[in-house]
């Protein structure tokens, strides 16, 4: 189906200046062109008389001169807030793209959503009078101003406004640059709307806007975010047909998706070999991504083989490489191997970061070695690093492993005072430890706090708590839970009346 015929840009006539209006604009123009350049405060006597018509003629007559000589703050101060659409549109046409972006970044936040279509319409209306009579100049001026408007809206994550600008351009046969389209796709991904990114890319193809490698890589990522790995793989294969040369980053995006997929690691490993077949060299991101997937599956031997392959291919293992191995061993409970990797990391001169410390602290906490964990906390503070949520969670877990419920509660309180939010597993460990210590008052207090944070306790935790209350003959504490925020909403009634014990 052929594309619809583009509408011509509309004609627009600006009412002429006469009398006082003409004298006012002439005086202001002389003032702005004075040397040295006037300060913003000197405009105070002109601003009350600056009507939209006067501003429009000023920008039409001296827009090019103002764009070259006037600093950004002086130019922006000429426009009231919110800016009238007619003079702003004329000014946008007279500014080079960089200055245009700066101005829009300043004034667009004051333009209400309902007023934006009017501004867009005025940018179209004024394209001809801003560019002169030549049709090529008119089209170029309209494209430049609309393209910048489109990209600035996208960069500000105002996708609905950017979409209006794109549609206005398309209707008149004007197309944004691929760089501006990339800004839109990137914004959609940052807003976690990959479906918008994919849909917009299809529209780009319909409009025959040629993608570049950045476009293609982002759309591959969008397909992966949507779980459409087959579509992402097909797109990767089609990139050469569009004249787009694939990079290692193109393959890395798909490799990361394969590593997260339930199909396992074999497709990711095959794709790594395919990188070499296309004359490219896998980089540290390639290896680290695959290594992370292997460590999650507990395949540490293969992960170590990848480290050796990195060295053979002159790819230097970095902090992420070693952290991935350390974390993999800690998850398997092989703390001895984790600390060996840490020693290798130090010998190789690779920087240790917060992730490294947290993994090692967790290793000690899993074994209940709290003194050693505490020494690591002191060490990271000496390294000018600050404990984060993962640090506190590991320390809480360590105290729970030692059945030290009061100390775990102190750490939980310190964690919250430091501005971190304990997750469900952290709360669950503390409640469970209080139950094991037969301190049901403490368990109930922490459970009430969980419910206030809208955390839904699982069956295992509820069984442990309510069974303990029953055996300790402290079922009256259950009423404290029921009366708390979300107590009856998040905990089924069968736990309060004891019927949960009759369930199979």
pLDDT digits (tens, 9 = 90+) for 91-103: 888 888 888 899 9
Residue 300, H or E segment? helix 300-312
**Lookup: tokens for 319:** 């902090």
Distances (CA, A) of 284 to 170, 214, 262, 314, 420: 42, 20, 23, 10, 32
Q: Picking from 134-138, 334-338, 392-396, which range would have the lowest pLDDT averaged per residue?
A: 134-138
Token pair for residue 62? 């001296």
Asked whether the beta carbons of 91 and 59 are under 8 A apart, the reply is yes
> Which residue carries 């004891």 as its tokens?
498
Predicted confidence band of residue 1 (pLDDT cuts 50, 70, 90): very low
Task: Name the token pair of 60.
Answer: 């039409």
Alpha helix ranges (H) inside 278-404: 284-296, 300-312, 319-332, 335-347, 354-366, 370-382, 389-401
The token duo for 118 is: 């009017």
Q: What is the CA radius of gyration of the chain?
A: 32
Residue whose pair of structure tokens reads 């706090």 in the numeric block: 449
Q: What is the pLDDT of residue 403?
A: 94
Least confident of 257-271, 303-317, 336-350: 257-271
Q: Position of tokens 């695959």?
A: 290
- pLDDT tens track for 47-64: 888 899 998 888 888 877
Which ranges of 156-283 would DSSP assign to H, the alpha helix?
A: 159-171, 178-190, 194-206, 213-225, 229-238, 248-260, 266-277
> pLDDT digits over 342-381, tens only?
999 999 999 999 999 999 999 999 999 999 999 999 999 9
The pLDDT of residue 134: 42
The pLDDT score that the predictor gives to residue 37 is 78
User: How far is Cα 39 from Cα 279, in angstroms, rounded to an integer?
Assistant: 58
Residue-by-residue DSSP string for 394-439: HHHHHHHHTT-HHHHHHHHHHHHHTT----HHHHHHHHHHHHHTT-
How much is the pLDDT for 474? 93
HSE at residue 162, side-chain half, CA atoms within 13 A, is: 25
Q: b/e map of 21-57 (b: 16 or more CB within 10 Å)?
A: beebbeebeeebeeeeeeeeeebeebeeebeebbbbb
Determine the length of the chain.
504
d(CA 312, CA 287): 13
Which two three-digit tokens encode residue 180?
């501006």
pLDDT digits (tens, 9 = 90+) for 64-91: 777 777 788 888 888 888 999 999 998 8
Is residue 279 scored above 60 in pLDDT? Answer: yes
Distance CA 287, CA 293 (A): 10
Question: Which tens digit of pLDDT belongs to each residue from 414-455?
Answer: 999 999 999 999 999 999 999 999 999 999 999 999 999 999
241, two tokens: 């047909």
What pLDDT score was predicted for residue 133? 41
Measured CA to CA, the distance from residue 435 to residue 444 in angstroms comes to 9
Give the pLDDT score at 4.
Answer: 52
> Measuring CA to CA, how many Å separate 113 from each of 56, 120, 149, 287, 394?
23, 11, 14, 46, 47
pLDDT band at 138 (very low <50, low <70, confident <90, very high): very low
Number of Cα atoms under 13 Å in the Cβ half of residue 95: 29
Report CA torsion sign: 465, 466, 468, 472: positive
């Amino acid at each position: 189906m052929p594309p619809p015929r583009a509408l011509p840009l509309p004609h627009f006539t600006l009412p002429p200046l006469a009398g006082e209006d003409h004298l006012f604009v002439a005086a202001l123009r002389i003032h702005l062109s004075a040397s040295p350049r006037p300060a913003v405060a000197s405009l105070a006597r002109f601003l009350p008389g600056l009507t939209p018509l006067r501003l429009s003629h000023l920008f039409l007559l001296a827009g090019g001169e103002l764009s070259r000589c006037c600093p950004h703050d002086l130019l922006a101060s000429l426009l009231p807030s919110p800016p009238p659409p007619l003079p702003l549109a004329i000014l946008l046409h007279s500014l080079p793209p960089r200055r245009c972006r700066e101005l829009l970044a300043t004034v667009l936040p004051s333009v209400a959503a309902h007023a934006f279509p009017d501004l867009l319409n005025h940018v179209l209306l004024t394209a001809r009078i801003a560019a002169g009579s030549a049709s090529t100049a008119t089209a170029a001026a309209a494209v430049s101003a609309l393209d910048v408007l489109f990209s600035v809206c996208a960069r500000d994550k105002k996708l609905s406004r950017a979409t209006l600008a794109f549609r206005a351009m398309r209707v008149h046969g004007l197309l944004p640059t691929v760089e501006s389209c990339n800004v839109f796709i990137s914004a959609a991904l940052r807003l976690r709307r990959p479906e918008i990114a994919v849909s917009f890319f299809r529209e780009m193809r319909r409009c025959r806007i040629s993608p570049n490698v950045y476009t293609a890589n982002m759309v591959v990522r969008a397909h992966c975010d949507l779980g459409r790995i087959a579509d992402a793989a097909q797109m990767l294969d089609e990139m050469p047909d569009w004249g787009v040369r694939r990079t290692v980053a193109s393959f890395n995006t798909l490799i990361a998706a394969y590593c997260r997929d339930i199909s396992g690691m074999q497709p990711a490993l095959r794709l790594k070999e395919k990188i070499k077949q296309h004359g490219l060299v896998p980089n540290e991101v390639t290896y680290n991504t695959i290594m992370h997937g292997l460590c999650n599956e507990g395949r540490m031997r293969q992960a170590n083989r990848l480290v050796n392959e990195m060295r053979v291919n002159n790819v230097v293992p970095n902090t992420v490489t070693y952290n991935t191995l350390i974390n993999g061993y800690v998850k398997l409970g092989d703390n001895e191997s984790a600390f060996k990797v840490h020693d290798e990391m130090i010998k190789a001169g690779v920087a240790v970061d917060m992730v490294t410390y947290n993994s090692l602290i967790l290793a000690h906490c899993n074994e209940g070695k709290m003194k050693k964990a505490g020494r690591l906390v002191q060490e990271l503070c000496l390294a000018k690093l600050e404990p984060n949520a993962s640090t506190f969670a590991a320390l809480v877990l360590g105290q729970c492993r030692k059945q030290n419920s009061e100390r775990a509660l102190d750490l939980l309180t310190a964690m919250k005072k430091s501005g971190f939010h304990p997750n469900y597993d952290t709360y669950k460990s503390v409640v469970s430890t209080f139950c094991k210590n037969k301190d049901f008052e403490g368990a109930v207090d922490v459970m009430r706090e969980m419910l206030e944070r809208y955390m839904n306790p699982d069956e295992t935790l509820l069984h442990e708590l309510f069974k303990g209350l029953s055996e300790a003959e402290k079922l009256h504490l259950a009423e404290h839970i029921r009366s708390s925020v979300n107590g009856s909403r998040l905990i089924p009634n069968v736990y309060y009346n004891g019927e949960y014990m009759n369930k199979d």
